[in-house]
Amino acid sequence: MREAEKQLSGVRRVVCVGSGKGGVGKSLVSATAALLLSQRSRRVGLLDLDFYGPSAHLILGAWDLMPTEDRGVVPPEIHGVRLMSIAPYIGEGPSALRGSDATHAMLELLAITRWGELDLLLVDMPPGTGDEILDVVKFIPAAEWLVVSTPSKLSIQTVRRLLLLLRETGSKIMGAIENMAEGEACVEEFCRAEGVQFLGSVPRDPKVERAIGRPELLLRTEFARRLEAIVRKLK
């Protein structure tokens, strides 16, 4: 029951932004990429699957946008991005979900959300390689993966574990983005070693923090400009 397929049948492409590592910019990259694609007239959805630290609504400034009820749940649109998240349902409250609860929550969101016709659905993944990752692999086998890493050894080692998992499960890996780049080309080198396409680097940009919650401002940061060059490659 609770099949994802029906609600995703009008979605041409599902792209999961994952890492394994936390705090590498998965949320910032996925939300900004969604904004950039929407600017380029793509019909874009953004599904936030971080049930413990949902962030997409904060980045897009959509704190109080509720999905509307109409033969399902219709995601609110913000700057052209259709956004679905656990946030409207849990507010600012605690999120004491065990793994099986996360599985249920994800299947529920997939079952009720009417995405409609989309060129691209971006999925903002939580850190780790636990239930949410395993469930996406299981329930959305066609999902493609966009992997984010910082240049840190601590990030790269964890990203490697995710890549191994995705490979073993036959998931399609589009490539990897280096975020908060810092001079040395660590992630590029890592990609070469792992046989993964390196999609490009985005620098640490101190202006990003002020732009959280303000999409127009975010789109004008150096961060967004650099990400645009990468997003363009994805068509």
Partner 1 sequence: MHEWALAESVVLTVLRVAEERNAARVLRVRIKLGELQQVEEEIFSTALRELSKNTPAEDAEFSLAREPAVLKCNRCSHEWKVERDKLKPEEAELIHFLPEAAHTYLRCPRCGSPDFAIESGRGVWIESVELG
Ligand X SMILES: Nc1ncnc2c1ncn2[C@@H]1O[C@H](COP(=O)(O)OP(=O)(O)O)[C@@H](O)[C@H]1O
Buried b (16+ CB within 10 A) or exposed e, 101-132: ebbebbbebbebbbbeebbbbbbbbbbbbebb
The number of residues making up the chain comes to 235
Cβ atoms of residues 84 and 109 within 8 Å:
yes
In this structure, which amino acid lies at residue 10?
A: G
Q: Which residue is nearest to ligand X (CB)?
A: 152
Backbone phi, then psi, for 220, in 5-degree steps?
-95, 5
Cβ atoms of residues 177 and 154 within 8 Å:
no
- What gap in Å lies between CA 12 and CA 14, rounded to an integer? 7
- Interface stretch with partner 1, choices 162-170, 185-193, 202-210, 214-222 (CB under 8 A): 162-170
70 vs 209 by CB, closer to partner 1: 70
Q: Which of 40, 58, 119, 134 touches partner 1 (CB under 8 A)?
A: 134
Total residues contacting partner 1 by CB under 8 A comes to 42
- What gap in Å lies between CA 143 and CA 123, rounded to an integer? 9
Give least dist CB 16 to partner 1, A. 16
- What gap in Å lies between CA 211 and CA 217, rounded to an integer? 5
Interaction site with its own copies (CB under 8 A)? 20-24, 27-28, 52-53, 55, 58-59, 92-100, 102, 126-131, 134, 150-155, 157-158, 160-162, 164-165, 168, 182, 206, 209, 212-213
- Does 21 bind Mg ion (CB under 5 A)? Our answer is no
- Does 27 bind Mg ion (CB under 5 A)? Our answer is yes
- Interface stretch with partner 1, choices 81-89, 142-150, 180-188, 189-197 (CB under 8 A): 81-89
Interaction site with ligand X (CB under 6 A)? 19, 22-28, 55, 150, 152, 154-155, 179-180, 202, 204-205, 208-209, 212, 223
Of the candidates 29, 47, 230, 18, which has an alpha carbon nearest to the alpha carbon of residue 134? 18
Cβ atoms of residues 68 and 74 within 8 Å:
yes
* Binding site residues, partner 1, CB under 8 A: 1-3, 5-7, 51, 67, 69-73, 86, 88-91, 93-98, 100-102, 104-105, 108-109, 111-114, 134, 137-138, 165, 168-170
